[in-house]
A and B are shown apart, each in its own frame.
Chain A
Amino acid sequence: MSILRNISLRSLAVWSRNKDVFFLTWKTNFLPPFLEPILYLLAMGFGFGVLVNVLPAPYEKFSYVQFLGPGLIAISAMYGAFFECTYGSFVRMHYQKTFDAIVATPISMEEVITGEILWGATKSVINGTIVTLVIFAFGLATLPGVLFIPFIALLAGLAFAAIAMIFTALVPNIDSFNYPFFLLITPMFLFSGTFFPLTVLPVAAQDVALAFPLTHVATMMRDFSLGTYSYADLWGCIYLIAITAVAFYAAIYLMKRRLVN
């Protein structure tokens, strides 16, 4: 585990650098995560949702728009980290040479990558929390469960940031990010129990969807928003932590292979 030996709290200086840039332009940064869920709620929830009469168990007591809300939080948590640690990290690594500047100081490459992943996860928490506030304002989430949603967003953010960093370590150029977005992120966005319950799918398709990290994030978000907790939340949590650990290790290994030579 020599990779972990080079990681310390100095990663936070890298995290702080990204946070500082983010807050320099906070007005433009906060607007999209605030407006987007409102548009989705209006179109999909209050528009399309009118056509949905009955949801399958355990959501039979809830309206479609109540079902949809937590799905939107999960989606924003996924995109927050994944965008940041693909396009954002690639620009800093490749175009701005920010990583080179940082490793000329006592900070190690491992700490740079860790700081980037922590920042990606922070973006998930920020975006997820904004969406949660919108949904709460619409009366679609209940206390006290909703208070735990930022922690679920953090868990999701760490997983998606680490996965994103693997692609950043592998892509030859910035256009290549189209592949993970098209082949991984878009299918998850649509088929993770975000817009409809997975139980309406054939069993085989449900099994595939269970492998998606976003499926578990959406389930946890929904259960904590609506109070429909089950053991699935615990398993989901363990699954996300396991994915994060593996992806984090792989990301650091692959990044070092790319950059330390």
Chain B
Amino acid sequence: MRDVIIAERLTKKFEDLTAVDGINFAIHEGECFGFLGPNGAGKTTTIRMIQCVSPVTSGKLKVLDMDVNKDQRRIKALLGVAPQEDNLDPDFTVFRNLMVHARYFGIDKTVAENKARELLEFMQLTEKSDVLIPKISGGMKRRLVMARALINDPKLLILDEPTTGLDPQARHLIWDKINELKKKGVTVIITTHYMDEAQQLCDRLVIMEKGKILVEGKPQDLIESQVGRGIVEVVNPEQGVEEALRSNGWALEKGSDRIFVYTNDRRSVREKILKDLPSANVIARDATLEDVFLRLTGRGLKE
């Protein structure tokens, strides 16, 4: 499979901060690739370099076989970007927002009109065509931003936190649409804080912290390699429980009110704990990407 993005020792330095610190990754054609990480990890900076609006400090970055330092215009013509911050045009209606954006791409007016109607239909916004931006909901704005990102039939769709702040219905609608686009062969890059979202959507992902990539892989592989298939939680453990668990040689982590045991065989771990400590409050469950994330980046606040 062809690589649509190749980054080698990609670095971005600001005056007093290295936001992206020599990372390597490759994104394959047609996949959904996720950038995960706490705030300030370097996700958005990486995306801004891909979309040619933030100059690369050093290293190599190729997008669709073109160099981001030289071919900005040609690369940008093939990208669709839905930014984190809503930057829709408040002076225009929903429909006009798409038309004005199409004009930036130099798309012919009648072609743009048809495309805009089609996209509003796809994003379930047809009824809101003639409504001004300040009068539509947050969920509709996100959908419109996504529709706008598709106006030029992009080869590569970049979604920066596409569902942050949305209610569950709005999130699921966005997820459905991302899956539909994937089926059509669009390569999708997303950043997100939501691990369930990443687990649902991403074929492969990286977890970043402090400008570096901690791990890369398929969600399920990462879960199995980083934490194991299952988690057993001992809630509100009494004195001495941690030592007792540790004596079994298990991989443990201590949270604020519970101890996490990482295991591939949660059933027998649970039974063993209940046998040794009959009064313990024990929860056994599947491991998720959230466990991988928290194990790698720590359970304390990042800011």
Q: Do A and B bind each other?
A: yes
On A, residues with C-beta under 8 Å from B are 10, 13-14, 16-17, 20-21, 24, 96-98, 100-108, 260-261
A105-B104 in contact given A21-B92, A260-B55 (Cβ < 8 Å): yes
A101-B101 in contact given A21-B91, A96-B87 (Cβ < 8 Å): yes
| B90 in the interface (beta carbon within 8 A) | yes
A106-B106 in contact given A260-B53, A260-B54, A260-B55 (Cβ < 8 Å): yes
Question: A104, B105: Cβ atoms under 8 Å?
Answer: no
Which residues of B sit under 8 angstroms from A16, Cβ to Cβ?
103
A97-B87 in contact given A21-B92, A105-B101, A106-B73 (Cβ < 8 Å): yes
CB contact list, B99-126 vs A, under 8 A: 100-101, 103-106
CB contact list, B62-103 vs A, under 8 A: 72-74, 76-77, 79, 81, 83, 85-92, 96, 100-101, 103
- The 6 A-B residue pairs whose C-beta atoms are closest, nearest first, are A97-B87, A105-B104, A101-B87, A104-B81, A21-B91, A106-B77
Question: Can you identify 15 A-B contacts, CB atoms within 8 angstroms?
Answer: A10-B104, A10-B106, A14-B104, A17-B89, A17-B100, A17-B103, A20-B100, A97-B86, A100-B83, A100-B85, A104-B51, A105-B104, A106-B73, A106-B76, A261-B14
Which residues of B sit under 8 angstroms from A103, Cβ to Cβ?
53
Question: B91, A24: Cβ atoms under 8 Å?
Answer: yes
Which residues of B sit under 8 angstroms from A20, Cβ to Cβ?
92, 96, 100
Distance, CA A16 to CA B77, complexed state (A): 19
Query: How many whole Å from B155's CB to the nearest CB in chain A?
Result: 14
Query: How many whole Å from A23's CB to the nearest CB in chain B?
Result: 11
Distance, CA A26 to CA B90, complexed state (A): 17
Which residues of B sit under 8 angstroms from A100, Cβ to Cβ?
53, 83, 85, 87
Distance, CA A106 to CA B105, complexed state (A): 6
Which of A21, A24, A98, A260 makes the CB contact (< 8 A) with B87? A98
Query: How many whole Å from B183's CB to the nearest CB in chain A?
Result: 25
A96-B53 in contact given A104-B79, A104-B83, A261-B14 (Cβ < 8 Å): no
Kindly report which residue of chain A lies nearest to residue B105, judged by CB atoms.
A105
Distance, CA A226 to CA B101, complexed state (A): 46
Distance, CA A10 to CA B86, complexed state (A): 24
Question: A105, B87: Cβ atoms under 8 Å?
Answer: no
Question: B73, A96: Cβ atoms under 8 Å?
Answer: no
Question: B104, A107: Cβ atoms under 8 Å?
Answer: yes
CB contact list, B227-267 vs A, under 8 A: none
Distance, CA A106 to CA B96, complexed state (A): 19
Which of A96, A97, A106 makes the CB contact (< 8 A) with B104? A106
A13-B90 in contact given A103-B53, A108-B72, A108-B73 (Cβ < 8 Å): no
Kindly report which residue of chain A lies nearest to residue B151, judged by CB atoms.
A105
A96-B89 in contact given A13-B106, A104-B81, A105-B105 (Cβ < 8 Å): yes
Distance, CA A105 to CA B152, complexed state (A): 9
Question: A261, B54: Cβ atoms under 8 Å?
Answer: yes
Which residues of A sit under 8 angstroms from B73, Cβ to Cβ?
106, 108
Which residues of A sit under 8 angstroms from B85, Cβ to Cβ?
97, 100
Which residues of B sit under 8 angstroms from A24, Cβ to Cβ?
91-92
Distance, CA A148 to CA B300, complexed state (A): 69
4 A-B pairs besides A17-B103, A98-B87 with CB distance below 8 A are: A105-B104, A106-B104, A106-B105, A108-B73
Distance, CA A101 to CA B144, complexed state (A): 13
Which residues of B sit under 8 angstroms from A14, Cβ to Cβ?
104
Which residues of B sit under 8 angstroms from A105, Cβ to Cβ?
76-77, 101, 104-105, 152
Which residues of B sit under 8 angstroms from A106, Cβ to Cβ?
73-74, 76-77, 104-106
Query: How many whole Å from A258's CB to the nearest CB in chain B?
Result: 13
Which residues of A sit under 8 angstroms from B79, Cβ to Cβ?
104
Kindly report which residue of chain B lies nearest to residue A16, judged by CB atoms.
B103
What are the interface flags for B12-56 relative to A under an 8 Å C-beta threshold, 1 for contact and 0 otherwise? 001000000000000000000000000000000000000101110
Distance, CA A96 to CA B89, complexed state (A): 7
Distance, CA A222 to CA B105, complexed state (A): 43
Kindly report which residue of chain B lies nearest to residue A20, judged by CB atoms.
B100
Kindly report which residue of chain A lies nearest to residue B14, judged by CB atoms.
A261
Which residues of A sit under 8 angstroms from B103, Cβ to Cβ?
13, 16-17
Kindly report which residue of chain B lies nearest to residue A96, judged by CB atoms.
B90
Distance, CA A176 to CA B90, complexed state (A): 24
Question: A101, B89: Cβ atoms under 8 Å?
Answer: yes
What are the interface flags for B151-170 relative to A under an 8 Å C-beta threshold, 1 for contact and 0 otherwise? 01000000000000000000
Query: How many whole Å from A87's CB to the nearest CB in chain B?
Result: 15
Kindly report which residue of chain B lies nearest to residue A14, judged by CB atoms.
B104
* Most chain B beta-carbon contacts within 10 A, residue among A14, A100, A102, A104: A104
Query: How many whole Å from B88's CB to the nearest CB in chain A?
Result: 8
Which residues of B sit under 8 angstroms from A260, Cβ to Cβ?
53-55
Query: How many whole Å from A4's CB to the nearest CB in chain B?
Result: 15
Query: How many whole Å from B107's CB to the nearest CB in chain A?
Result: 10
Distance, CA A258 to CA B38, complexed state (A): 26
Distance, CA A104 to CA B103, complexed state (A): 13
Which residues of A sit under 8 angstroms from B89, Cβ to Cβ?
17, 21, 96, 98, 101
Distance, CA A142 to CA B77, complexed state (A): 51
